[in-house]
Chain A
Amino acid sequence: GRHKQWYQRRVRGALALEHSCPVLVELMTYRVGHHSTSDDSTAYRSIDEVNYWDREDSPVGRLAKHLIARDLWSTDLEDAYAKECRKEIMTAFGRAESERGPNPLWMFDDVYDSPSPHITEQREQLREHLERYGDNYPLDKYMPLD
């Protein structure tokens, strides 16, 4: 995803185990990606800074290097696994996109714990409207009205 986060851990785990006391663990993170699709973060930080955290000093990257150094992982395995994960995600994505949305009248659910008369009235107004003008709406992309 957009937020590739890394964690620099100050682990007081040993302390917690030894002394059975509550421990505050502070995790520092660095946001590698832009804030959103509308953001160009080079406007407020240098690309060198981003690259440093992403490539040189990323805990995820460091873990990979560590495992490779111990013959527990390899760049080939990494590439293959990345490919497999991407395929799995894109398949799920495609399947989800082709699913129909819920019954549009469910739009009126959960405003309150139980529907109030004015909301029920509006639901019926929409139902009635769709009965007459339904051809102008993407109803085929949704489950049928109940």
Chain B
Amino acid sequence: GINAEYGDFWQDCCASRVFNTPLTEQGIIGFGIGAAAAGSTAIAEIQFADYIFPGFDQLVNEAAKYRYRSGNEYDCGRLTVRAPWGAVGHGALYHSQSPEAYFAHTPGLKIVVPRGPIQAKGLLLSCILDNNPCIFFEPKILYRLAAEEVPLGTYTIPLSQAEIVRQGTDVTMIGWGTVVHVLLEVASMAEEQLGVSCEVIDLQTIAPYDAQTIEASVKKTGKAMVVHEAPLTQGFGAEIAARLQEKCFLHLEAPVQRVAGWDTPFPYIYEPFYLPDKWRCLDTVKKLVDFM
């Protein structure tokens, strides 16, 4: 892979099973669907999530609908598609995108985003074992930044289960991938500077998502914010905000806030001004707390 994801392990175990393909995302994904439908566990890599779109039709019209259209006679559940995802500091328009919202809109696909190495291993294994086509987005900025003691044995982290990474009582902060680390920093700042206790939730699986955990949290705090790098309009935060106001209306002390990338293509030199950074997030905490 472009970030040496596979390393040299493939030479030891299975040279015939780890291979390069022609450069065609439609083909990579289509091939993976076919292999999966025929009974092989298929893991298809797209070099950058920004390049996944030539395979959009394969994912949306083939992979997602395979089981449904055949009345459960056939499926391509053994397919996992993985792709580097999100801002990296210098990625610009075509090496920084977070396309989860496009795919979350398609019933039949599972979308997963880990926040670090320990989650990456557990969640990826879950995706591979899961009997549905999964898309696994890997925050590329964390490839070289994140270092954790990852257990050597096999373990899985369940899909469709959010994790409360930091407990709190005043504000619920929901994010996934890189942004979870921003939220943890903001939670500390909010505690120190504002005396506000924030609960940080890593959604982990975008679709199908763990509504129960976030609803319980928001009913407790009464104040919610969703943060993502992807552009604001029609980002996945919109779905969460809609659901929270529907399910938790009487518990809300302020409108559900979203902090997101602006509605522009992901810029190059303007990246520091584009991202939903800790200052915009901290400001949103203030807005929530000061609302009433």
**What count of chain B residues pass the 8 Å CB interface test?**
18
Whose C-beta in chain A lies nearest to the C-beta of B265?
A111
- A22 on the B face (CB < 8 A): no
Which segment of B72-80, B166-174, B202-210, B270-278 sits at the interface?
B270-278
Interface residues of B in 237-292 (CB under 8 A from A): 262-265, 267, 269-270, 272-274, 279-280, 283
- A133 on the B face (CB < 8 A): yes
The answer to whether B3 touches A38, judged by C-beta atoms less than 8 angstroms apart, is yes
Which segment of A5-13, A23-31, A77-85, A100-108 sits at the interface?
A100-108
Chain B CB within 10 Å, residue with most, of A44, A107, A129: A107
Interface secondary structure of B, over-half rule: loop
Distance (whole angstroms) from the CB of B256 to the closest CB of chain A:
17
- B24 on the A face (CB < 8 A): no
The answer to whether A122 touches B273, judged by C-beta atoms less than 8 angstroms apart, is no
The answer to whether B2 touches A122, judged by C-beta atoms less than 8 angstroms apart, is no
Which residues of chain B are near A44, meaning CB under 8 Å? 20
Which residues of chain B are near A132, meaning CB under 8 Å? 283
Whose C-beta in chain A lies nearest to the C-beta of B261?
A122
The answer to whether B263 touches A118, judged by C-beta atoms less than 8 angstroms apart, is yes
- A136 on the B face (CB < 8 A): yes
CA gap between A111 and B263 in the complex, in Å: 8
The answer to whether B264 touches A108, judged by C-beta atoms less than 8 angstroms apart, is yes
Distance (whole angstroms) from the CB of A107 to the closest CB of chain B:
4
**What count of chain A residues pass the 8 Å CB interface test?**
21
- A68 on the B face (CB < 8 A): no
The answer to whether B262 touches A133, judged by C-beta atoms less than 8 angstroms apart, is no
Interface residues of A in 112-137 (CB under 8 A from B): 118-119, 122, 126, 129-130, 132-133, 136-137
Which residues of chain A are near B269, meaning CB under 8 Å? 101-102
Which residues of chain B are near A136, meaning CB under 8 Å? 279
Whose C-beta in chain A lies nearest to the C-beta of B1?
A38
Could you give 22 example pairs across A and B, Cβ below 8 Å? A38-B2, A38-B3, A39-B2, A44-B20, A102-B269, A107-B262, A107-B270, A108-B262, A111-B263, A111-B264, A111-B265, A119-B264, A122-B232, A122-B262, A126-B262, A130-B273, A132-B283, A133-B279, A133-B280, A133-B283, A136-B279, A137-B272
**B-side interface residues toward A, CB under 8 Å?**
2-3, 20, 232-233, 262-265, 267, 269-270, 272-274, 279-280, 283
Task: List the 10 closest A-B pairs by CB distance, nearest first.
Answer: A107-B270, A133-B279, A104-B273, A101-B269, A122-B262, A38-B2, A111-B264, A107-B267, A136-B279, A104-B270
